[in-house]
């Protein structure tokens, strides 16, 4: 069982409230979320990525992505499930050696000149 998945519904509603604040641009909410969950997220990352330095980098990436995407997070999953999904995806990308950042809102993709049909 994922360490983050152990959140009960009351705890998850608290996480949801923090994510709502983060989505509204409330930086102190991000600080509170990081302080509360970074040890658990890091524990999950260490289980998925044996290299501590890489796991530390991915930890930062996870919380940057949370900051950048919290406003549009899907409500069909719990707050904990959403954060676990981000953590697992970021870990998978790191294991594959793919450096990927979430594009900033309004950012345009580079024109590669490739035509897709």
Tens-digit pLDDT profile for residues 57-112: 999 999 999 999 999 999 898 999 999 999 999 999 999 884 444 455 555 555 44
Q: Provide the domain limits for residue 56.
A: 8-96
Q: Between these two residues, 102 and 27, which has the higher pLDDT value?
A: 27
pLDDT at 83: 95
Q: Between these two residues, 10 and 86, which has the higher pLDDT value?
A: 86
Domain count, the chain: 1
pLDDT at 75: 86
Residue 44 has pLDDT above 80, yes or no: yes
Residue 3 domain-assigned (yes or no): no
Residue 2 domain-assigned (yes or no): no
Neighbours of 28 (CB within 10 A): 10
pLDDT at 50: 87
Residue 117 domain-assigned (yes or no): no
- What's 16's domain CATH number? 1.10.1740.10
């Amino acid at each position: 069982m994922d360490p983050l998945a152990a959140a009960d519904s009351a705890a998850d509603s608290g996480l949801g409230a923090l994510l709502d604040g983060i989505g509204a641009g409330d930086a102190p909410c991000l600080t509170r979320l990081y302080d509360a969950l970074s040890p658990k997220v890091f524990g999950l990352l260490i289980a998925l990525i044996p290299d501590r330095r890489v796991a530390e980098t991915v930890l930062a990436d996870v919380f940057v992505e949370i900051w950048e995407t919290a406003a549009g997070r899907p409500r069909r999953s719990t707050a904990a499930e959403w954060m676990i999904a981000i953590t697992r995806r970021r870990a998978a990308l790191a294991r594959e050696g793919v450096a990927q950042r979430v594009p900033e809102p309004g950012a345009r993709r580079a024109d590669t000149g490739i035509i897709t049909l």
